[in-house]
Amino acid sequence: NSFCTLLAPPPKFPAPMDRLVRFVCSRKERELLTAALVVRLCMVVYSAIHDRLFAVHYTDIDYDVVTDGARAMWRDFPSAAASPFERVTYRYTPLLALVMIPNVTLFYAFGKLLLASCDVAAAWYAFDTFARTAPGASGNGTNTPNGTPILGGAPVAGSGGSGGVPSWRHPKFLLAAFLLFNPIVINVSTRGNSDMIVTFLVLAAVSSFARHSYAAAGVFLGLSVHVKIYPIVYVPCFACALLHRVAAGLARQADHPPAKPPSALVVKALFSPAFLTPLVTAALGVLAGAGLPTLLCYAWYGQQYLDEALLYHIGRIDHRHNFSPYWYPMYLGMAARDVPGVLGPEQPAPTDAWLKTGLVAFVPQMGALLAAAWVLRRNVAHAITVVTMIFVCFNKVCTVQYFVWFLPLLPFVFASGAGAKGAGGAGPVARGFALGLVWFSGIVVWMLMSVRVEFDGEPAYVPLWLASVFFFVMQVAVTRAVAGAAVAGQKHDYNL
C-alpha cells in the first residue's frame, strides 16, 4: 500500500464538520471573497495593535525593509540617487518599493492591505479557472460531469451521497481551506510578506491559459518571474500543457483517445503551427513581462540591481531560519572559508566546493521538475502544484513563506477527484489533511530544535540538522502523495 493509502481515514466525517463544509459550499463566490477580505482587514488592524504592545512584532521584518526602501526612493525621487538599495538587505525589485511608497506618504499599513488583497484576487482567478475547466464547460462553463453547477451556490452532495459535487472536494471548500481562510496564508500576507504577489500572478497566468489567452498568460508569468525568480520553473509546465492540448486536438480528429495521443501525433503537434504560434506568442509575453521591467530596473540602478535583486538569490547562502538540510553544509562551508582550521587539523583547506552546495541542490531539483512537467501535461494546474512542491522540497533555502507558494494551488489537485471512493469520494482531501498533520509534525520538531540554537544560543547544530532531515523526509512523503493524486487526476475531470 502507498503511504497515502495507509494514512487514509474513513470517508465519513463528524457531522459539525460536514455542516460547515456544506455551508461554505452553498455560499456564492463573492460572499466568500468578501468574508476573506474582512478577515484580512481585521488581522491588519490587529497587527498594528500587536506591534505596539509586544516586543516581538507581528509585522514581518521584510515589510520594514521594503518600507525603508520605499522611504529612500521617496526622499530622493526623482533623482538617480533614489535607490531602495540604500537599505541594507533590500533584495527585491525596485518596483516593489515604488508600489510601497504610500506606506510612507499615506499610512504604514497600505502595503499590507495591498498584499492581503492579492490573496483574494488570487482566489478569484482560481474560481475563474475552475469555472472554465470543469468537464462540460465551453469556454466559461460551470458544470460537472453530471450537469450540476460547480460554482455559484451549487447543490452539494454529502460525504457519502451522490448527485452534485462531493462536498469534500468541492472547489469552494478547498479554496476556503487552502487559500481564503488558511491561517498560514493569512498570516504571511497580513504580516506584510510579498510572496502572495507571485501566487496572484501565477494564478492569473493559469486562468489566462484556461481561456486560451496565451499572450496574457505569458505576461503574467513574466511579471511573476521579475518579482521572484522561481516561477521560471513553470515554463516547462505551460509548454508541455500546450503541446498536449494541440496533440489532443489532433487525436480527436484522427478518432484517437485525446487523453493519450499517439507518439506520432505528439511529434506532429510539436511542429504544428497550432503549437508553435501560441508558443511564440506566450514566449514573447514572458519576455515582455519579465524583460521590460528588468531592463528598466537595470537602466535605473545598473549592476547594483543585478547584484542585490538577482545574483544574490542565485548564490544565496542562508544558514538561519532555514528548514532545508542544506543549511548545515553551507554553515560549515562558511566556517571553513572564514576561519581556517576551525573544522579540525585534518580538515582540508577550504575550497569553493563547500560554497557550491546551493548549486548542487539544483541537480535533483531540475530533474524532478522536468519529469513532473511532462507527466502532468494534461493539466497545467496539477503540474504547477507538484513542481512548486518539488522546488520547495529540494531548494537550498526553505522558510515558512515558501509554503504559500503551493498551498493555494492544492485545490486543483484535490478537486480532480483523484482517488475518490464512490460518488462521495472524500479520499483525496482526507488524505491531504492526514498528510498535512505529518508535514506539520516535521515543522514542530524543527522549531523545537531551532529554539535551542537561534534563541537560547546552544550549539545544538547536529540535532537541528537532524530535525531538518526529518522535515525533509516528511516533505518528500507529502509531495509524493500529492504527485500521486495529481497523476491519478489526469484520468479524471478538470482537464486544463
pLDDT bucket at 333, cuts 50 / 70 / 90: low
What is the residue-averaged pLDDT of the chain? 78
Query: Given a cut of 60, is residue 176 above it in pLDDT?
Result: yes
Q: What is the DSSP string of 260-294?
A: S--HHHHHHHHT-HHHHHHHHHHHHHHIIIIIHHH
Which range of 208-217, 248-257, 351-360 scores highest in mean pLDDT? It is 208-217
Residue 414 in contact with residue 484, Cβ under 8 Å? no
Cell representation of residue 57: 512584532
Helix (H, G, I), strand (E, B) or coil at 71: helix
Whole-number Å distance between alpha carbons of 57 and 264 = 60
Is 435 strand, coil or helix?
Answer: helix
- What is the bridge-based pairing of β-strands 165-166 and 156-157? parallel
Please check the confidence at residue 47 and state whether its pLDDT lies above 90.
Answer: yes
Is the Cβ–Cβ distance between 44 and 116 less than 8 Å? yes
The mean per-residue pLDDT over the stretch 241-266 comes to: 81
Distance CA 184, CA 177 (A): 11
Per-residue cell: 322: 532555514
461 or 477: which carries more pLDDT confidence?
A: 477
Using only C-alpha atoms, what is the Rg of the chain?
23
Residue 384 above 90 pLDDT?
Answer: yes
Place of cell 527585491: 92
Report the alpha-carbon distance of residue 457 to residue 349 in Å, rounded: 28
pLDDT beyond 60 at 341: no
* 8 vs 22, higher pLDDT: 22
pLDDT for the residue numbered 149: 39
Helix/strand/coil (H/E/C) assignment for every residue in 95-153:
HHHHHCCHHHHCCCCHHHHHHHHHHHHHHHHHHHHHHHHCCCCCCCCCECCCCCECCCC
Which grid cell sits at 349? 583547506
Are 234 and 218 a contacting pair, CB within 8 Å?
Answer: no
Mean pLDDT of 375-393: 91
> At 459, is the secondary structure helix, strand, or coil?
coil
What CA–CA distance (Å, rounded) separates 24 from 172? 7
The stretch 366-382 carries a mean pLDDT of: 89
pLDDT tens for residues 284-326? 999 999 999 999 999 888 888 888 888 777 766 665 677 777 7
Ranges 4-18, 325-339, 431-445: which has the least confidence: 4-18
Residue reference for cell 503549437: 275
pLDDT digits (tens, 9 = 90+) for 151-163: 443 444 444 444 4
443 touches 398 (CB < 8 A) = no
pLDDT of residue 157: 47
User: With contact defined as beta carbons under 8 Å apart, do 194 and 223 qualify?
Assistant: no
- 218 or 261, greater pLDDT: 218
Return the HEC string of 196-209: HHHHHHHHHHHHHH
Please check the confidence at residue 4 and state whether its pLDDT lies above 90.
Answer: no
pLDDT in the model for residue 140: 40
Could you identify the residue written with the cell 497580513?
Answer: 190
Q: What is the pLDDT of residue 432?
A: 59
Q: Name the grid cell of 334.
A: 562558511
> Which pLDDT score is estimated for 493?
46
At 478 the pLDDT is 87
Q: Cell for 127?
A: 474560481
The whole-number pLDDT of residue 475 equals 86
Write the pLDDT tens digit of every residue in 120-134. 999 999 999 988 775
pTM score, two decimals?
A: 0.83
3-state class of 157 per DSSP?
strand
Coil, helix or strand at residue 165? strand
Report pLDDT digits (tens) over 62-84.
Answer: 899 999 999 988 887 766 667 88
Q: Is the peptide bond before 78 cis (omega within 30 degrees of 0)?
A: yes
Cα separation, 337 vs 84, in Å, equals 30
Quick: pLDDT tens for 215-252.
Answer: 999 999 999 999 998 899 999 999 999 998 898 888 87
Q: What is the pLDDT of residues 418-431, one digit of tens each?
A: 444 433 444 555 56
- Residue 132 pLDDT: 79
- Residue 264, pLDDT above cutoff 70: yes
For residue 381, pLDDT over 70 is answered with yes
The share of the chain scoring above pLDDT 90, in percent, equals 30
Task: Return the closest-CA partner of residue 275 out of 302, 235, 239, 305.
Answer: 239
